[in-house]
Amino acid sequence: MIDADTRAAVLLGYPVRHSFSPAMYNAAFQARRLNCVYLAVSVPPARLAAALEALPALDLLGANVTVPYKERVVSFLDETTPDSRLIGAVNTIVHRDGRLVGHNTDGSGFLRAVREAGRDPRGEAAVILGAGGAARAVAVTLALHGVKELVIFNRTVERGAGLAALIRKQGVAAAAYGWDELAAAGARARSAFARACLIVQTTSLGMHPRTAEAPPVPPEWISANHLVYDLVYNPAETAFLQAARLAGARTANGLGMLLYQGVVAFELWTGQEAPVETMRAALRACLEDN
């Protein structure tokens, strides 16, 4: 029951109607018998500063942040964690005694999901498709957790090169190539896939409703040596994941990353162990109803 003692956490974005987060977190609060509620709040750009000021003013637990605000919120916070500063984006805000602390749980959520799928990237090589915000979180997390080499493919090589330069500063070998290297089946690209144990698809290609789209990766470059992880989770199996599965690779979609970034946020807000299976079931129910 919501009463005067109920504490809230919110999702800040624009728009937010599509989000599965309210179902996941409210199921978790109920499972742990916490007097808390989670709301998705659509915040127009002109009202972002006011929305962030409301977090301590209303004594909220904190907030999740989604597009288009993950980078913009940083300047409004009292403190950010080292990994979120490297990534350059925040997706979780924790309110403590009037101070707002920014975290990025996308990377840690991704790493837990990959390990759950049976692959530890430490000491291995990886390929990342895309160079946007999600790719940056994935790349920085892999670099901080011992990956040996990263090769980034992006439509525009310039953006990928910027991300590769950041990764090299962390002491990890990194290179970037354009999408044209994939389309042309170039030797450098083929070699990068041959060395990798992990292939991460971070773009929106294949996301509902444009489910036929896929990165231009020759299917013969994928084998049973690979875990292919697609951050898209709707549909559950993208065209890219289907091709990878047929090539013999182990595959996983982005539902695990969505789950575990939420698990980390829940634990930061509440100080309690998250009910992982309850949260997973809530997400799966959302997908089935979608």
User: What are all long-range contacts of 159-165, with beta carbons under 8 Å and residues at least 24 apart?
Assistant: 159/131, 159/132, 160/131, 162/131, 163/131, 163/135, 163/136, 163/139
Q: Which of 270, 279, 267 is nearest to 25 (CA)?
A: 279
Q: Report the alpha-carbon distance of residue 262 to residue 111 in Å, rounded.
A: 13
Catalytic residue (one of 48, 66, 70, 232)? 70
Active-site residue 70, yes or no? yes
Q: Which of 60, 70, 23, 68 is nearest to 42 (CA)?
A: 68
Q: Say if strands 227-230 and 196-201 run parallel, antiparallel, or are unpaired.
A: parallel
Within the chain, what is the greatest distance between any pair of CA atoms? 64
Q: Are 177 and 151 in contact (CB under 8 A)?
A: yes
| Catalytic residue IDs | 70
